[in-house]
Structure 1
Amino acid sequence: MAALTIFWDDLSVETALDFCEYLVRSEDYKLRDLAIWIQGSGGPIDELDGSIGSLVALWSWFKSFREQGLPGVPLGARAAYSVITGRPLDSPLEEGSRLVGESVAHYVFKVILSLDPTAHWAVRAKSGRIAHAWDNTPGISMDGGKHFGPAVGFFTNYPDRLSSNYHNAYAAREAWDDTGLLQSVELLYLAGLPSRPRSTSTTESILSPLLRDDHVGSGHREEIPIAQEMPASITNNGPVSAGAEELIFASVGADVSRLDQAAPLDELAVASVLAELGFVSADGQSVSAVTLLSHGVQVQNVDGFALVETHVAGGRLRGLFLEPMRPSEKEWKSITDAFSALGEKLPAHLANER
């Protein structure tokens, strides 16, 4: 099942800042849309009082609303992120869910704001040498320096269960019932909110007033800023390689389904090639042979278009998984050419997982 995303990633600094301003300006009508959808579908609008516990009712409604086919959401309507990036989702249901998810994100913001009055929409700045998709991510920040950006996606992704980004960390939680959902609010505390949140709830819905005829809001829908950015199919170095797929680098004759039994690779030679290609560890250090002797270690090139993961068994490097991250044809060819040349010397080769 395709994961819904509200991570608002892959944005330039300028576009991310514009989007943050849009989020602030659009809060009123985005929440009003949410109120209309909840009331129109017979949802628990009276329970949405802005408290941390109200997230349970909101998640349950969102899941049910999606299963019903998003009644009342205009067919073909696009989320702000899709307009900004020019990357709408292929399925109308997925795109509609993304649109509703943006309104849900505004409600999550109201909940966090009730816990920490310093909360505000802000852009997470790029840090370190490695380029990540979540650099320049619009999200919720607190004055303490914590940024609650991608975690917003955790909440809004619930109709599709966990997104792959959070699957490993929460793999032990198989049953996501209402109790589990409420417990998952620990993410708020991980984001640096007070360990003993005060309750500002008045037990009155914060959405119901938005439906009144006398409600005074922004009065109009804010224009969505259109990014001056390249489409998803273009990178700085040309079109994204349509043929780029995950590859395995292992000794000639190795069974890629049984890498533990493959002949070991020359760690020094592999590390030298990775260093030449600009791969670094998570802390920005150049790759060394020692780096490659730990199983499951991931290194990424500084331009962010390729990821490599080690397969170690018996204290030796048995294989590498090469994962493309939207590289151009030129970029991906530089990776495969370098490993093909190395393979001729070892001997080893690149192979598909299949």
Structure 2
Amino acid sequence: MTTLFDPLQAGDLALANRIVMAPLTRNRSPNAVPGDLSVTYYGQRATAGLIVTEATAISHQGQGYADVPGLYGADQLAGWKRVTDAVHRAGGKIVVQLWHVGRISHVSLQPGGGKPVAPSAIRANSKTFLVRPDGSGEFAETSEPRALDAAEIPGIVDDFRRAAKAAIEEAGFDGVEIHGANGYLVDQFLRSGTNHRTDDYGGSIENRTRFLFEVVDAVAGAVGAGRTGIRLSPVTPANDTSDANPQPLFNHVVEGLGRRSLAYIHIVEGATGGARDFSQGDRPFDYAELKATYHKAGGRGAWLVNNGYDKELAEKAVADGKADLVAFGKLFIANPDLVSRLKRNAELNAPDKATFYGGDARGYTDYPTAA
């Protein structure tokens, strides 16, 4: 019987176990540069079969929250190289999550104070994280976006490509994960609630998925499909996103991905950080159908599941063949030695929610390991 602690080959990624550290925004990279704290934080968690970094902006335009890291400047890439070196010294594997937030931003974070961009000029009923002059953090309403002109879209696709290439060649990552989930730019193009375009990027499912496939092809072409993963969240309402009929939409997405030989597909089940049985549309979302559609299309990449998994649920998912990999978020925040704790059934530290976003070492690198 397959267990969480068995090795797995995911595309070009040879993983020591099936426990994945989920991407977790922590807002501790001033000026978008990962520093000493990030080096320690990720190095502490290198026993994960795979670390997926916090979402990392591919461009200044792609930034949506204060003090999150980037991949578009030399100092940012150098900071990440120190992180990947630390993880590799500890025997781990790490991929970076490529992020463009789209409309989930604020004018104070955008180049020249401009409006955030989106498929359509629809303001999100959501908030972003800003830093006050005194260094304290606050959540603020997102700014009104402007709709992207079709002529701008190839440039953003190229930003994904360039960021992926730099992540591998300059920052030393083992691979990349395209952030196609949680109501950010790629997801905004997918969903009928956020995409009201009438050109080749809007309307039909084929048109609304066009941007995603262009990004995937650009990234995989730059770094190799075997080093490329993607994260999807078929029904999450995160960041005020919705779709009237998500099952055929995401079936079409994974059918296309199945023909592209990616390393893995990362699925957020239900509402991100909330109910696993949350759904949208006229019927409950069928994740088994989604996975079967992927495999029927020829998909052989690892199937990675996420959202509210504990050890019992994760063990069952892997043993039953529902998943090849399971991602843990909050448990990894509080337990740098999570793999060892799960293996030994050791007691788990509880995360301090007050320290999730922004701050210093407290609640970031000071959680104890088990004796």
Say yes or no: TM over 0.5.
no
| TM tier relative to shorter chain | under 0.3
Structure with larger RCO (C-alpha < 8 A, sep 6+): 1
Structure richer in helix, relative to its length: 1
